[in-house]
Amino acid sequence: MATQVKIEKKVLSENDRLAADIRQQLQQHGVVALNFVSSPGSGKTSLLEKTLSALKDELRIGLIAGDVQTENDANRLRLAGGQMVQPLVTGGACHLDAKMITRVLPEFDLSRLDLLIIENVGNLVCPSSYDLGEAMKVVLISTTEGDDKPLKYPGMFRRSSVMVINKIDLLGTSDFDLERVKANARQINADLKIFEVSCRTGEGLDAWYDWLRDLVRR
Amino acid sequence: MHELSIAQSILNTALQEMASRQLPRISKIVVHVGALSGVVPEALQFGFDALKKQTPLEGTELSIEMIPVRGHCTDCGADFEVENFAFSCPQCQSGHIQMTRGDELNIAYLEVEEEPSASGATS
């Protein structure tokens, strides 16, 4: 005789519990946290280097640089002026989870931070399942990728609040269509805030910086 | 490929339930996986079947029920199934859609072979 035992439990309930704790800690200190996600090579670290150089004297920015191996990204961000950069090497894992953030968060003095940026592992699938306690996810895509990426990875684009399109200086050198990528992204998520930038030439970055300033002041 | 760690969580939860509710044998674990949960069912199945070996759940079947994405239009109030991840209202074409189902990753219930009167069990 088979009997059903109701469980109704989220598989990631432990992660969600830790993420809720992190979110509460950050809110108590008025720290805005952003979770940066993208494919490998879209330019997460480049965008963060630019952002640090431009805003380091205005905003107190903490960074958690997630990487599968090496602390290369963390080193680049320190060189760009990052005062509070914490590397997080996953040792093979394809995403960051709340437990890893819980481990490195004590390295920061939250009372002296305005903004905490978490650079996730380059991957558009797995990181979408893990809440890190962030205020919002920022997804990056670059013009050297397919403009159908939002349709291929709907979970990530649905859960993100902001999309930054990087490498717009290379538009026209591939079949990437700027209007099409925006339409594809808005089909998944009509409320997505979109920035078009080139970390190489600096084009479009001022709007991104202004948005970050407003976000922190809010 | 985070399905392996998700399979491990499912396995651990089932083992905990088995111990705390003193269940003699779990024949089936039923999980609900939303179409937008980011989990690939084949990879989850593969991971679970690999991890269950030499545990008390070696004979347990993992049954994955896929949950389609449903949306609620915050402009006109329509409820509908979201097809091909096109989040737009079929009635008023609005893009302001609240996702009501489809991101689940839940252990729904366990199937246990025992007498129906056992404590903590519902038929």
Domains and CATH numbers, chain B: 2-113 (3.30.2320.80)
Name residue B1's amino acid. Answer: M
Angle at B98 between CA B68 and CA A184, to 5 degrees: 75
Binned at pLDDT 50, 70 and 90, residue A33 comes out as: very high
Residue B118's pLDDT is 47
**How many A×B Cβ pairs under 8 Å?**
115
pLDDT tens-digit map of B54-103: 999 999 999 999 999 999 999 999 999 999 899 999 999 999 999 999 99
Contact A94 B103 (CB under 8 A): no
Q: Is the pLDDT at A107 greater than 50, yes or no? A: yes
Binned at pLDDT 50, 70 and 90, residue B121 comes out as: very low
Residue A92's pLDDT is 81
Contact A126 B120 (CB under 8 A): no
Contact A190 B38 (CB under 8 A): no
| Sign (positive or negative) of CA dihedral A38, A41, A42, A44 | positive
Average pLDDT score over residue span B8-34: 95
- Going from N- to C-terminal start, the domains of chain A cover 2-217
Q: Is the pLDDT at B115 greater than 80, yes or no? A: no
Q: What's the CATH superfamily of A2-217?
A: P-loop containing nucleotide triphosphate hydrolases (3.40.50.300)
More reliable by pLDDT, B33 or A83 = B33
Of A4, A8, A190, which has the smallest distance from its Cβ to B106's Cβ? Answer: A8
Interface test with B, best of A6, A7, A193 (most B CBs within 10 A): A7
Q: Is the pLDDT at B119 greater than 60, yes or no? A: no
Residue B114's pLDDT is 65
Query: Are the CB atoms for A31 and A64 separated by under 8 Å?
Result: no
Angle at B56 between CA B55 and CA B60, to 5 degrees: 100
User: Is B39's Cβ below 8 Å from some Cβ in A?
Assistant: yes
